[in-house]
Amino acid sequence: MNKVVECVPNFSEGRDKAVIEKLADAIRSVEGAELLDVDPGADTNRTVFTIVGAPENVSEAAFQAIATAAKLIDMSKHSGAHARMGATDVCPFVPVRNMTMDECVELARALGKRVGDALEIPVYLYEYAASTPKRRNLAKIRAGEYEGLAEKIKKPEWKPDFGPAQFNARSGATVIGARKFLIAYNVNINSRNQRLAHNIALDVRERGRWLRDDNHKFVRDDNGERIRQEGLLKECKAVGWYIEEYNRAQVSMNLTDFEVTPVHAAFDACRKSAESYGLRVTGSELVGLIPLQAMLDAGRYYLKQQNQSTGVPENVLIDIAIQSLGLNEITPFVPEEKIIEYRLSGGKRFGKLVQMTCDGFADELSTDSPAPGGGSVAALCGALAAGLTAMVGNLTSDKREYSEVKSQMIDIADEAQKLKDAFLADVDRDTDAFNELMDCFSLPKDTDEQAETRRNAITEATKKAALIPLDVLKRSLRTIEIAEIMAQRGNQNSISDAGVGVLSALCAAEGAFLNVMINIADVDDKQWVEKTRTIAVETVYKVRKAADKALQPVHKALNIRGVHK
């Protein structure tokens, strides 16, 4: 799969729609860089752009936007609620797919040098690209903001990493770096009081606040230094502000590592702090995009709080997260627009085959086109098997008489949902692989070089076409194993459903096996063929044995005898 990087430049303009559109046009002018999101704020007077694509294309788009901002934004006339020090205030690169952090660091440094040299804008590097540990933290670089930059830049310790070491009155300075995915997240409170919102921010942010005694004086250590009281949340930066546009105060947070401090933890921490001041959290707002995993984690967290099963479909988890976090309070939260993975796939979770109706898929299958074919059908059978397994788990977990196995049932249902989604993805992957193989046969073969290129392309495409059903085959085994647990320990009123799940997974496995075998027959790489054949044969044997074992408790419970004559 191709490399994909995200870049999230923040520009100090959130009110002039014409300027914002020209910045967007500069990004759109670069082929191979996709502008996923434009999120302006009038009170902050700041707009966050989200760009994704191939590294070189995204870097070029970022440069064109920075150059446009230098022409259109005059920092000497700028004001806004958000801290800032430049027309392009900050421009981070974030690894998305097949990208390392080191590669993002190289992108940041190359862009920083280009901006400094070509545009004569002072550039500082931050986070993973920082030239010194002191400059890793964005807040420290930006301390004093634009107004303090003229004096700050004169100090040797604040010499820019790139560009002139002199004050640029029009453009200020730009901070470029590489970081993990940052979630810009604002929590709303039922007050217009900025000070109260900031008190919550001080409670929750990692750096906390200066400790004070009962007389409200700073508490100092033996050396006379002020003592800091750490906040509740790691990897969290926060301030409190009042947004006139919303007629309310917010706790504005940057969650710099959502695996350390997830969105739901930040929301709940703000809620608890707000209650201590007699306030209520009324909802929240996402600025820019959010990773799918963050939303799924939030959905699972709140379902667990309700003592409900987390083994539900992805869209249900997302809906629970939206409701629980109050993400619709200010503006509608549209998953297809706000979740980065959905944006990268055009807002679709799966390919066009999976999006069809049942009759539409069956009709398409029945035509004289060779794809979709048996491989896609095998994957679909696997998805149905995993779906039935999840269903039995959910029909068991909420029953009092099965309380002893509740936790196990939820865990299995959760796993079954993941298996189901993987099978569904393979429905289209199998057909796409077949179509790619057919395309290879159309490659030119007029010269020896062309013929060799064509042969190699056909071989690699054929291998890919074999490995997808091999994945289906392997996954079918696990599906049968967990379906057996459902048959043995799950709700006995649904034992026939567990049995149909086993049979559907067996069908998926046998169908996938046939597709592996027909594809490897045309591969010249004998060593690879033998290895793949061995794995397939051994796995389908395990599947048959597991299916026979899994059906025994089903047949026993249903008093079925004499079916194996």
What distance, in Å, lies between the first and last C-alpha atoms of the chain?
49
The stretches of 348-373 forming alpha helices (DSSP H) are: 358-365
Catalytic residue among 39, 297, 430, 497: 430
Q: Yes or no: say if 426 and 472 are a contact pair by the CB < 8 Å rule.
A: yes
**Burial class of residue 132 (count of CB atoms within 10 Å of its CB; 0-12, 13-18, 19+):** exposed
Q: Taking Cα atoms as reference points, which of 9, 14, 26, 16 lies closest to residue 121?
A: 9
Catalytic residue among 82, 297, 432, 471: 82
The neighbouring-strand residues paired with 33 are 53
Q: Yes or no: say if 173 and 165 are a contact pair by the CB < 8 Å rule.
A: no
Which of helix, strand or coil describes residue 493?
Answer: helix
Q: 218 phi and psi, to 5 degrees?
A: -65, 135
The stretches of 17-98 forming alpha helices (DSSP H) are: 17-28, 55-72
Q: Yes or no: say if 122 and 171 are a contact pair by the CB < 8 Å rule.
A: no
Task: Report the relative pairing of strands 209-210 and 183-189 from DSSP bridges.
Answer: unpaired
User: Amino acid letter at 460?
Assistant: E
The neighbouring-strand residues paired with 236 are 255
Please list, in sequence order, all residues whose beta carbon lies within 8 angstroms of the beta carbon of residue 84, skipping any fewer than 6 positions away.
Answer: 10, 12, 46, 75, 78, 142, 145, 146, 172
Q: 142 phi and psi, to 5 degrees?
A: -85, -5
Cα separation, 409 vs 393, in Å, equals 5
Q: Taking Cα atoms as reference points, which of 44, 237, 260 lies closest to residue 139?
A: 237
The neighbouring-strand residues paired with 92 are 177
Owner of token pair 């310790």 = 157
Q: Is 432 a catalytic residue?
A: no
Q: Taking Cα atoms as reference points, which of 289, 93, 83 lies closest to residue 173?
A: 83
Q: Is 297 a catalytic residue?
A: no
Q: How far is CA 94 from CA 58, 60, 106, 253, 256, in A?
A: 11, 15, 12, 18, 11
Owner of token pair 């440094």 = 109
Q: Which helix (H) or strand (E) holds 125?
A: strand 123-127
Q: Yes or no: say if 92 and 10 are a contact pair by the CB < 8 Å rule.
A: no
Q: Yes or no: say if 196 and 249 are a contact pair by the CB < 8 Å rule.
A: yes
For the sheet with 248-255, list strands across it: 236-243, 248-255, 183-189, 281-287
Q: What amino acid positions are annotated as catalytic residues?
A: 82, 430
